[in-house]
Amino acid sequence: MTTNKLEWWQKTIVYQIYPKSFLDTTGKGTGDLNGIISRLDYLQSLGIGAIWLTPIYPSPMIDNGYDISDYTAIDPAYGTMADFERLIAEADKHGIKIVMDLVYNHTSDQHKWFLESKSSRDNAKSDWYIWRDAKTDGTAPTNWRSIFGGSSWTWCEERQQYYLHTFASQQPDLNWDNPNVRQALYDAANFWIKKGVGGFRIDAIIYIKKPQNLVDGKPDDIDGTVSVHNMIANTPGILDYLYEMRRNVFDGHNIFTVAEANSVQPEELKYWVGKHGAFDMLFEFNHLNVMFPDGEVWYNSKSWKLTDLKSVLTASQAATSDNGWYPIFFENHDQPRSINQFCPAGADPVKSAKAIAAVLLTLRGTPFIYQGQELGMTNTAFSSINEYNDIASYGQYELAINAGFTPEQALKFVQFFSRDNARTPMQWSTDKNAGFSTGKTWLPVNENYIKVNADVESEDKDSVLSWYKQLVKLRGQHEELISGTYEEILTDSEELFAFVRKLNDTELTIIVNFSLNNVELPKELTGKTIILDSETDNINTKALRPMEVRIVE
Ligand code: NOJ
């Protein structure tokens, strides 16, 4: 395959923005669209070609925009539709497309569809959501636990029935079996296509289709209920709806789609992505889940080895080598910062950020950089559970307490895994609040902003930001990094992650030391020409220092 045959989105780099935390231009403490517009030069200089915006639609913000109350408007806290149109136009001048988040498994409980649906059992939208009678003893229809903890059913007085929610009770699941629901969703997506968006990230899509009969599942040892995920993910028949959506929305436009879809099995991948699949790319979580083999319960995280991480990444590279395309990511708005999650405790944070960056920008696929990752932003631990905003953090805290952990221990799990770690304000400068806002920020700014910020790093050739730019440039110069094959080498090493990207007669070898040790290189890797190294002086051609990256020809 040569680059010419690839689509624009296979050759580009995507930057994910969490608008609430990106840049505030009004002093209200939360970011806005004008803030994004004002930083397009910065994003262009980083070399990205698309921005994925997490939801900016009107929302009560119970789950920070993943609870949408209107699919075809902009939340006033972010700006106006005119601001959005300006963002599309200005981004275009910078060679950047705007990608929207489609949250179609559920709406907010304040969406007018839900307000109507819940008002009676016989209104026009009465079956737009999943309603069920109570069990004869009055309890919820099934023993399912929602992803955020607690029952996945909530009682509704008006209808004297329960409704299903995979996530929070304020996020009722839509009934995709109803063709009117599907059409309304397609219409909303087409509204954004007409505005000129460059693609969609599709949220929680594996949950849209529910089984015919909703029945109790086998209780697990978490709390004697069963995760809703195990009962509804990838229900047979789901693909029919996804193909219908592709035909009605995505087909025939110069856009890309990337769907959030963990637990799709490799043998099913061909139905999900690629020429005949439903989407262009799938975000799967195998590499994020190396520490959660039994499902994502934060108190249950396991220690893991580098070979665990390497083998799942290599499996994903293999699975997408001629089927679909891999979206490479180590961070997003739901994960701890990658330095904390993937690098050994005690490793130098700058070197760690560079190590992750090297893998992100040299694996085969489209890299997704999450805001602040290019600066080496890290986790922030708040000192009490009440300081957290993230709804998942409260559910996980509760699970830990119910499992017998002390409040201090439960807080520790939250401090490490909370989604707020990724959501603290973007660090722009050494100014008040890291230059993010002049007002009281919605989440505290990470104290390390004095050192870790875009202004300071732009002036420092050894910064994480400068390293990102060097890697992006390298991608532009070496076709093998875009369309070349991937082959892992030194597979048994618990210290080095190494692989070869090869195209015709040219190849690059990427070697990253993910350990705190100096590691000798095998002989065959020592005599090669060094193209890029994260260490700038006294390079030892025969060994790598802790967290050092070397790219050789
Ligand atoms: C996945 C999103 O990334 C996450 O932030 C959200 O809470 C859930 N889906 C529910 O929409």
Q: Binning pLDDT at 50, 70 and 90, where does residue 1 land?
A: very low
The answer to whether 71 touches 59, Cβ cutoff 8 Å, is no
Residue 97 lies in a domain: no
Among candidate residues 417, 166, 423, 421, the one with its CA nearest the CA of residue 298: 417
303 found inside a domain: no
From 354, 364, 329, select the one nearest 485 (Cα to Cα).
364
113 CB within 6 A, ligand 1: no
Domain that holds residue 510: 485-552
Q: Is the CB of 420 under 6 A from ligand 1?
A: no
Give a yes or no: residue 504 inside a domain: yes
Nearest CA to ligand 1 atom 2: 203
- Is residue 3 over pLDDT 50? no
The residue contributing the CA closest to ligand 1 atom 6 is: 66
User: Residue 323 has what pLDDT?
Assistant: 87
Distance (angstroms) between ligand 1 centre and the Cα of 164 equals 16
The pLDDT tens digits of the residues spanning 430-458 come to: 999 999 999 999 999 999 999 999 999 99
C-alpha 408: how far from chain center: 28
Tell me, yes or no, whether 403 lies in a domain: no
- Is 109 near ligand 1, meaning CB less than 6 Å away? no
Quick check: is 455 catalytic? no
The confidence band for 293, taking pLDDT boundaries of 50, 70 and 90, is confident
According to the model, what pLDDT value does residue 2 have? Answer: 42
The whole-number pLDDT of residue 119 equals 98
332 CA: nearest ligand 1 atom:
3
Ligand 1, atom 3: closest residue by C-alpha:
334
Q: Is the CB of 114 under 6 A from ligand 1?
A: no
Q: Compute the average pLDDT of residues 325-335.
A: 97
> pLDDT tens, 20-56?
999 999 999 999 999 999 999 999 999 999 999 999 9
Q: ∠ at Cα 69 (38, 107), nearest 5°?
A: 115
Question: How far apart, in whole angstroms, are the C-alpha atoms of residue 418 and residue 382?
Answer: 10
What is the number of other CB atoms lying within 10 angstroms of the CB of residue 383? 8
Q: Any residues with CB less than 8 A from the CB of 303 and at least 6 apart, and which?
A: 291
Distance CA 493, CA 489 (A): 9
* 419 domain-assigned: no
Looking at 24, 67, 75, 260, which residue is catalytic? 260
Ligand 1 centroid – CA 403 distance (Å)? 25
Distance of CA 383 to the CA centre of its chain: 26
Domain containing residue 527: CATH number:
2.60.40.1180
| H helix intervals, 275-348 | 306-319, 338-342
* Pocket of ligand 1 contains residue 370 by CB under 6 Å: no
- Residues 128/174, Cβ–Cβ less than 8 Å: yes
* Domain contains 214: no
Annotated catalytic residue 203 = yes
Kindly give, in sequence order, each residue whose CB lies less than 8 Å from that of residue 49, ignoring residues fewer than 6 positions away. 8, 9, 11, 12, 13, 14, 95, 96, 97
Count of the separate structural domains present in the chain: 1
- Asked if the structure places residue 42 within a domain, the reply is no
Establish if 370 belongs to a structural domain: no
Confidence of residue 504 (pLDDT cuts 50, 70, 90): very high
Query: 0.75 exceeded by the pTM?
Result: yes
Tell me, what's the pLDDT at 400?
96
Q: Is the CB of 66 under 6 A from ligand 1?
A: yes
pLDDT for the residue numbered 4: 52
Q: For position 264, what pLDDT does the model report?
A: 87
Out of 203, 308, 390, 480, the active site residue is 203
Q: Which residues of 232-259 are buried (b: 16+ CB within 10 A; e: fewer)?
A: bbbeeebeebbebbbeebbeeeebbbbb
